[in-house]
Amino acid sequence: RTADGSGGGGGGGALRGALLLSGLRSRGGAATAAPPDEESKPPDLPLSIVIPVMNEEACIGAILRYLALLDPVPLEVIVVDGGSTDATCRLVAKAKGVKLLRTSLQSRAKQMNAGAAVAKGECVMFLHADTFPPLDSAALVSDAFSDPAVSLSAFRPILDHRGRTFWGMSLLHHVKTTAAAFLFRPVAAFQGMKIFFGDQAMVARASAFRKVKFCEALKTMEDLDLCVRLFFGVDEDSAAHTSYSALSRGSGRKGKGGVQRYKWRGTKFVYLNRCAHTSGRRIDEWGVAKSLKLFLVLSLSYAFKASPQSLNELANKVYSEVR
């Protein structure tokens, strides 16, 4: 789930939309890929897909079946369970070629870090269980990351649920990728920083990600925080203990006013030229106004340097579950 309330189960509508745009046809309820004109070549940069889950039995089967259709195939799919009490792990164990990493972390940031730590690909996609990337994702990622300066990318999101597409929120989600960057760091936004969110199927260069990682103190906004810190190259030790926003308040190398300064290190963030479908269940449940309000409250709290504890407490007042 992202701050605007998208995600959190019910991926059926997202799956149908993804299959439709990917040029698939349905035969007797089973999705089958149209035959390719020629045999696909493996991507130059191997892709690992990491899926953090917690009680996702309602949608984990659909996303794993969908990922089996990817062409070219990714190097590996790693599902990191945070301690599910439902049938999630049993369903994952039945999926052919999927690696299951059982943990008791119950933290999306920690689970994604754990998955990335064992991933073998040169690029790592962090995928929500109800988000469906394009079928040619591996090739798109390989092309984008052929530029050695690129360290982070993501798809354009389309939010839908039960046959209803939230076009307005999808457009807003696209716009805030750039708008949020101007909100947090205007100069960095001109330099090319973008703010991607988890339901855009974020992809990071593994070597760059492992120097920073997700902030494990955060239970929300960890995706936004990764974007800011990866752009500025904040070291792993600092990232593990607190968010970039809180970190920039104090210790270490400081600029005017006693605020810690980090400089852009030449990395690039790019859009992948396709759409990813993600569940809009929360938007359907809460409505557009409440979803937008939640995003603004959490993102502005982060921008004004709220501590991870404060952000987590704020999110816990709204979210009844980890995802």
| pLDDT value of residue 13 | 52
Strand, helix or coil for residue 119: coil
Percent of the chain with pLDDT over 90: 43
Q: Average pLDDT in the 200-204 region?
A: 96
User: Which pLDDT band holds residue 4 (cuts at 50, 70, 90)?
Assistant: very low
Q: Over the stretch 58-74, which tens digit does the pLDDT of each residue have?
A: 999 999 999 999 999 99
Query: Please, which residues bridge with residue 52 across strands?
Result: 80
Q: Residue 160: which region, alpha, beta or left (left: phi > 0; alpha: psi -120 to 50)? A: beta
| pLDDT value of residue 245 | 62
Let me know: does 85 contact 93? Beta carbons within 8 Å: no
Mean of per-residue pLDDT scores for the chain:
80
User: Which pLDDT band holds residue 75 (cuts at 50, 70, 90)?
Assistant: very high
**pLDDT of 53 higher than 60:** yes
| pLDDT value of residue 42 | 66
**pLDDT of 113 higher than 60:** yes
Q: Average pLDDT in the 229-251 region?
A: 62
**pLDDT of 319 higher than 90:** no
Helix extents (H) in the chain: 12-21, 60-67, 88-94, 108-118, 137-144, 167-184, 186-191, 206-209, 222-232, 236-241, 244-247, 281-286, 288-303, 308-316
**pLDDT of 193 higher than 50:** yes
Q: Over the stretch 144-177, which tens digit does the pLDDT of each residue have?
A: 999 999 999 999 989 888 788 888 788 887 888 8
| pLDDT value of residue 284 | 67
Contacts of 143 (CB under 8 A, 6+ apart): none
Least confident of 39-53, 169-183, 283-297: 283-297
Q: Is the pTM of this model over 0.85?
A: no
User: Which pLDDT band holds residue 249 (cuts at 50, 70, 90)?
Assistant: very low
Strand, helix or coil for residue 303: helix
Least confident of 148-162, 250-264, 269-283: 250-264
Contacts of 221 (CB under 8 A, 6+ apart): 3, 243, 298, 299, 302, 311, 315
**pLDDT of 250 higher than 50:** no
Q: Over the stretch 11-22, which tens digit does the pLDDT of each residue have?
A: 555 555 555 454
Q: Average pLDDT in the 200-218 region?
A: 93
Q: What is the 3-state secondary structure (H, E, C) of 120-183?
A: CCCEEEECCCCEECCCCHHHHHHHHCCCCCEEEEEEEEEEEECCEECHHHHHHHHHHHHHHHHH
**pLDDT of 49 higher than 90:** yes
Q: Which residue has the higher pLDDT, 37 or 59?
A: 59
Percent of the chain with pLDDT over 70: 75
User: Which pLDDT band holds residue 238 (cuts at 50, 70, 90)?
Assistant: low
